[in-house]
Amino acid sequence: MVKKRTIYLILTLIMLMIIVIGILVLQKKIKITPVFAGRFEIRGVDVSHYQGTIDWPILAGQDLDFAYIKATEGSGHVDECFADNWQEAGKTDLYIGAYHFFSFESEGAKQAQFYIDMVGSLHGKLAPVVDVEFYGDKGSNPPPKDEVVKQLRKMLETLEERYQVKPVIYTTYQVYHHYIREEFMDYPLWIRNVYYQPLAAGNGWTFWQYSDTTVLEGYQGSEQYIDMNVFRGNGEELQKYVVQCE
């Protein structure tokens, strides 16, 4: 009887610990994703005007391998820091790439062409990324799937035709389940999950954004944090995502 009570007490304490840890993780008071992300050798950041002026030699010197820089949004907006970031980041040893924030209100072909016009050649740079996530009230009122899939596919195909490499899709689990799953499984996936290592989806993820509350040196903007990511592979495998065409 005593032995059973002891086992019951131990199991109860373990369950309570799991619950407490879960609550702390959800409240972002503790982070467990850096522990899991530490298993991957290639890591990098994604930045935009929120990080303000960036001292790229300082940022690049903090054990980073790649950086994705926000370039465009929709069919008419260029990130105000893109030109400077693109030029200065290109002087470092980082692999760099440019990402586009997808708009649900604009035609995919127009968004793709706008990105191409603003970014130009990606020779020697990482494959283009299309960031697809809900904004405004889209989370509670998602746009029709058929139309989103149609426009996103057109954008991806246009970018692939220009750069001769499959674009990467960055997304959240919510958007993944609404639009990406089963529709775009032949495209590399960059998944956001700041709570735990993402579960394999289809052929699995390629990039993982594991933190949105990391603080590094080398930037001065309205946002004190910087997004951290890992690549699921080694340096040789990352080379496969480098654009070869002019």
Closest by alpha carbon to 59, among 50, 49, 40, 46?
Answer: 46
Q: Look at 6 and 94; give whichever has higher pLDDT.
A: 94
Lowest mean pLDDT among 19-23, 151-155, 179-183: 19-23
Q: Are residues 13 and 133 in the same domain?
A: no
Q: Is the pLDDT of residue 170 over 80?
A: yes
The predicted pLDDT at position 30 comes to 57
Q: Which domain holds residue 42?
A: 32-241
The predicted pLDDT at position 20 comes to 46
Q: Are residues 21 and 138 in the same domain?
A: no
- Name the catalytic one among 46, 73, 79, 227: 46
CA 32-214-18 angle, to 5 degrees, is 20
The first and second tokens of residue 177, run together, are 């389940």
Lowest mean pLDDT among 82-86, 183-187, 201-205, 242-246: 201-205
Determine, yes or no, domain membership for 246. Answer: no
Q: Are residues 7 and 94 in the same domain?
A: no
Q: How far is CA 233 from CA 91, 238, 239, in A?
A: 24, 7, 10
Q: Are residues 65 and 16 in the same domain?
A: no
Q: What is the CATH number of the domain that holds 226?
A: 3.20.20.80
Question: Where would I find the H helices in 164-219?
Answer: 173-175
The predicted pLDDT at position 6 comes to 63
For 73-106, b/e burial (b = at least 16 CB within 10 A) is bbbeebbebbeebbebbeebebbbbbbbbbbbeb
Mean pLDDT, residues 36-47 taken together: 96
Q: At what angle do helices 145-163 and 108-119 cross, to 10 degrees?
A: 30
The predicted pLDDT at position 14 comes to 65
Task: Output helix, strand, coil percentages for the chain, rounded to the nearest 5.
Answer: 35, 25, 40
Q: Are residues 49 and 22 in the same domain?
A: no
Q: Is the pLDDT of residue 5 over 90?
A: no
φ/ψ (deg, to 5) at 161: -65, -40
- Name the catalytic one among 107, 133, 157, 223: 133
189-242 confidence digits (pLDDT tens): 999 999 988 875 555 899 999 999 999 999 999 999 999 999 999 999 999 999
CB atoms within 10 A of CB 56: 21
Mean pLDDT of the chain: 92
133 among known catalytic residues: yes
Q: How far is CA 115 from CA 102, 108, 193, 197, in A?
A: 11, 11, 26, 31
Q: Are residues 38 and 16 in the same domain?
A: no
